[in-house]
A and B are shown apart, each in its own frame.
Chain A
Amino acid sequence: MDPGDPGPCGDAAGSIRERTIAENSLVVLLQGLQGHVTTVELRDESTARGRVLSVDAFMNIRLEDVVFQDRRGRTVHLQQLFVTGRNVRYVHVPDRVDILQTVQNQLARIHRVRNFASHGGGRREFCRNAK
């Protein structure tokens, strides 16, 4: 997803609140799984395996091309799936994913968005309490 996309299903570049929540929790790791195929285990023990499209700060996960196995073991293919963070029990991190690097990359992305102005890019911030 475009880092500048402020949509609710976006990633690190969401609202200020979402960025702050994300950088203070391991959900940044999940956000870094965007594009990877992985398995999400739900609270009711059903599982969904598919490609991660996005993860927001509330751990709502959007997957595509999903094999969903319900708790009774029946499988079905779903083109897209959105599971609420509340219903997520586990998210499997693929073996080939470097966890530390992923977290660092995500934090760097958040900081790039936030510090765009203060690092000389663009105009300077306008201090409201001008002396």
Chain B
Amino acid sequence: MVLLKNIHPPTEGVRHEQAATTAVLDGQRLGCGTLYVAETRLSWFDGSGLGFSLEYPSIGLHAISRDVSAYPQEHLYVMVNGKLSGENEAEMAEKGAGDDGNDSGGSSDGDDDDDEGMITEIRFVPTDKTSLESMFSAMCECQALHPDPDDEDSDNDFEGEEYDVEEAGSEHGHADIPTFYTCDEGLSALTQEGQATLERLEGMLAQSVSQQYHMAGVRTEETKAEFEEGMEVDAAAMEAGQFEDADVEH
């Protein structure tokens, strides 16, 4: 048997939980338990404290199998690179000599990249076959949260601005290089204060473009208090010529 002991089911980030699910590991039926598809790892427990968990980077592929000619029951198939590591490895190494059809004892760390083609095949057979789609999709989502860290071919260090900010800066004549957001992303990035400012500015723009020449003396921060009362106040304050006597130079 290759079961970990005293491991508890995950409580956070569980995208899908499927009870009454039998786990079959390399053809060995482990019994009926609950499958937990969590964001951190995939795990299965039989309810009496025995179970195992898999790290997503070690999972090569997963699939929905409804081909009963290949395997008599519809199930979620998971292929793990290497053999299960940790306590399992020690147990398997001990029993390695006596086991049939088991390639144990050959590979060292199950998480290794080059495990010489050793794989572990796991089948999760839920009692409720209609749940297979949800189980599968939940695994897809969680798998995507764990991109391959060893991927040397591509430079994945693309945090930060998406735009060519220098190009955008020269177009708009900005000396600094501000942080731009796309329309859809930017709105959600605004604080409440930001959103209020956005609404106020759009209101001002909507009223009249010509009036902006008379706004030379207006500073955003100073006038904010005035506009807090409502747009009606804004309209009154925006009469043309109100700030004509204000200093233009700052």
Interface residues of A (CB under 8 A from B): 7-9, 16-17, 19-21, 24-25, 42-44, 56, 58, 60, 62, 66, 68, 71, 76-87, 113-114, 116-118, 121-123, 125-131
Contact = CB atoms under 8 A, between A and B. Distances in A.
A127 B172 contact: yes
A85 B179 CA distance: 32
14 contacts: A9-B137, A24-B154, A24-B158, A58-B144, A60-B143, A78-B65, A78-B77, A82-B61, A83-B61, A85-B147, A85-B148, A125-B183, A127-B180, A130-B220
Given A58-B147, A77-B67, A127-B178, 7 more contacts: A16-B158, A17-B159, A19-B162, A85-B147, A118-B168, A126-B190, A127-B174
B70 interface: yes
A5 to B, nearest CB: 12
B141 A114 contact: no
A15 to B, nearest CB: 10
A117 B64 contact: no
B202 interface: yes
B242 to A, nearest CB: 21
Nearest to B158: A20
Nearest to B139: A82
Contacts of B178: 127-129
A114 B158 CA distance: 15
Nearest to A4: B184
A76 B70 contact: yes
Given A7-B141, A58-B148, A129-B174, A79 B183 contact: no
Contacts of A7: 141
Shortest beta-carbon contacts, A-B, top 4: A117-B183, A8-B144, A76-B70, A20-B158
A101 to B, nearest CB: 23
Interface string B174-187: 10101111111110
A19 B182 CA distance: 13
A125 B61 contact: no
B181 A20 contact: no
B183 A122 contact: yes
A21 B156 contact: yes
Contacts of A19: 162
Contacts of A82: 61-63, 136, 139-140, 143
A80 to B, nearest CB: 5
A60 B60 CA distance: 10
A11 to B, nearest CB: 12
A81 B64 CA distance: 7
A8 B198 contact: no
A75 B126 CA distance: 23
A116 B162 CA distance: 13
B24 interface: no
Nearest to B121: A70
Interface in B58-99: 59-67, 70-71, 77, 81
Interface centre among A24, A58, A71, A82 (most CB of B within 10 A): A82
Contact of B183 (A71, A123, A128): A123
B186 A126 contact: yes
Contacts of B201: 126
B148 to A, nearest CB: 4
Contacts of B159: 17
A62 B140 CA distance: 8
B117 interface: yes
B119 interface: yes
